[in-house]
Amino acid sequence: MPGWSCLVTGAGGFLGRKIVSLLVQEKELKEVRALYRVFRAKHREELSKLQTKTKVTVLEGDILDAQCLKRACQDISVVIHAAAAVDILGAIPRQTIIDINLKGTQLLLNTCVEASVPVLIYTSSASVAGPNSYKEGIHNGHEAEHHESTWSDPYSYSKKMAEKTVLAANGCTLKNGGTLRTCALRPPYIYGAGSPVISTTVNTALKNNGMITNVNALSLINPVYVGNVAWAHILASRGLQDPKKTPNIQGQFYYITDDTPHQSYSNFHYTLSKEWGLCLDSRKSLPLSLLYWLGFLLEIVSFLLRPIYNYQPPFNRYLITLSNSVFTFSYKKAQQDLGYEPHFSWEEAKQETSEWIGSLVKQHKGKLNTKTQ
């Protein structure tokens, strides 16, 4: 491992930025290449501040650009593929999501073979395992159970197919005669400062007199802190480069969770934000079965209007199922094979995330004050 180098795709995203920030602390790492389509100015600044003994090279380019990937993979030891199009409401065209998540992954794998990159770690998702029904959840699921999503929505479908492609590529012969070694990591709902989901949830609540919508009281999830997901990627990159550990890890997928308490989405968001005055909406919501079929009707309306108008429903059957299921996983296999233990405690994760939520609340109040002046 001395003098190794790493390419991180999706490096300007929520998880990608955290992976880069932990990577630069690796003693033997000589260079991190951070690839993203277009970096925000503040994220570019963050990356420039990470310069230590490890060189941080910022690259802007499309995951579907073969020439860009060829340049990015030149003389690289490890690729961490965290780039993805995430959408479960239909805001992004279906083919765009499949192109980025599946075709982009296939193109990157081909590039790794041509550039003789020996290690690729794929950031998958627990959504490739389901949930397929809110009536039949998964409690403390593990890898040997082989859960698989049956949804045709573009996100979970493309992530599932991309993961299969990555794991099937393990053992491929590289151009220089070496062997490609791969694995995939499946985190569930990732949280932390900068989370797009929490940002949307908090801002929506602030527009609703501080009320957090409580439509998923029956769900049970184990959210995972972004820092712990990033840490698992670091351990996987170490493991796949270590001949002693490699046979156990090659071609495997791992659920990556931590010790965040299992609870519903609504209760979790309330736990993180109650310090800032946000509260749960106590009004009763529609029965779950009715919401499910209403989602189905909205999907039909969206489909019928598609030739003349791009109607985006506020929810669909997949979202209703995802947000109202028992859906928890164990990290024992990652613990056994990768040596994974949560790098950040629940208290650390909660404090950092809550402080960031506080900054969102203050920003909102500042805007309101400006308008009233």
> What percent of the chain has pLDDT above 90?
69
C-alpha to C-alpha distance for 15 and 54, rounded to whole angstroms: 20
Q: Please state the φ and ψ torsions of residue 5, each to the nearest 5 degrees.
A: -135, 155
Q: What is the overall mean pLDDT for the chain?
A: 91
With respect to residue 85, please indicate whether it lies within any of the assigned structural domains.
Answer: yes
More confident position, 329 or 87 = 329
CA contacts within 13 A on the Cβ side of 95: 0
Range 62-73 average pLDDT: 96
Give the chain's domain count.
Answer: 1
Range 258-263 average pLDDT: 95
103: how many CB neighbours lie within 10 A of its CB? Answer: 16
Place of tokens 């990470």: 50
With respect to residue 307, please indicate whether it lies within any of the assigned structural domains.
Answer: no
Range 87-108 average pLDDT: 92
pLDDT for res 1? 61
Range 331-355 average pLDDT: 96
pLDDT for res 15? 97
pLDDT for 13-50, tens place per residue?
A: 999 999 999 999 998 899 999 999 988 888 888 887 77
C-alpha to C-alpha distance for 222 and 224, rounded to whole angstroms: 6
What CATH number is attached to the domain comprising 94? 3.40.50.720
* pLDDT at residue 121 is higher than 80: yes
Helical pair 346-372 and 265-273, crossing angle rounded to 10 deg = 70
Q: Tell me if residue 350 is catalytic.
A: no
For residue 170, give its domain range.
4-191+225-259+328-344
- Catalytic position from the list 18, 159, 160, 333: 159
CA contacts within 13 A on the Cβ side of 212: 25
Range 314-340 average pLDDT: 92
With respect to residue 26, please indicate whether it lies within any of the assigned structural domains.
Answer: yes
C-alpha to C-alpha distance for 161 and 102, rounded to whole angstroms: 7
With respect to residue 30, please indicate whether it lies within any of the assigned structural domains.
Answer: yes
- CA 205 vs. chain centroid, Å, equals 23
Q: Kindly indicate the confidence band of residue 365, based on its pLDDT and cuts at 50, 70 and 90.
A: confident
C-alpha to C-alpha distance for 37 and 363, rounded to whole angstroms: 28
Residue 102 · residue 108 · CB < 8 Å: no
pLDDT for res 373? 57
With respect to residue 309, please indicate whether it lies within any of the assigned structural domains.
Answer: no
Residue 228 · residue 342 · CB < 8 Å: yes
With respect to residue 45, please indicate whether it lies within any of the assigned structural domains.
Answer: yes
259: how many CB neighbours lie within 10 A of its CB? Answer: 16
With respect to residue 29, please indicate whether it lies within any of the assigned structural domains.
Answer: yes
With respect to residue 295, please indicate whether it lies within any of the assigned structural domains.
Answer: no
255: how many CB neighbours lie within 10 A of its CB? Answer: 26
Helices (H), the chain: 14-23, 41-48, 66-73, 94-98, 104-114, 154-168, 196-207, 226-241, 246-249, 265-273, 288-305, 317-322, 332-338, 346-372
* pLDDT at residue 273 is higher than 90: yes
Q: How far apart are the first and last CA of the chain?
A: 60
Q: Kindly indicate the confidence band of residue 246, based on its pLDDT and cuts at 50, 70 and 90.
A: confident
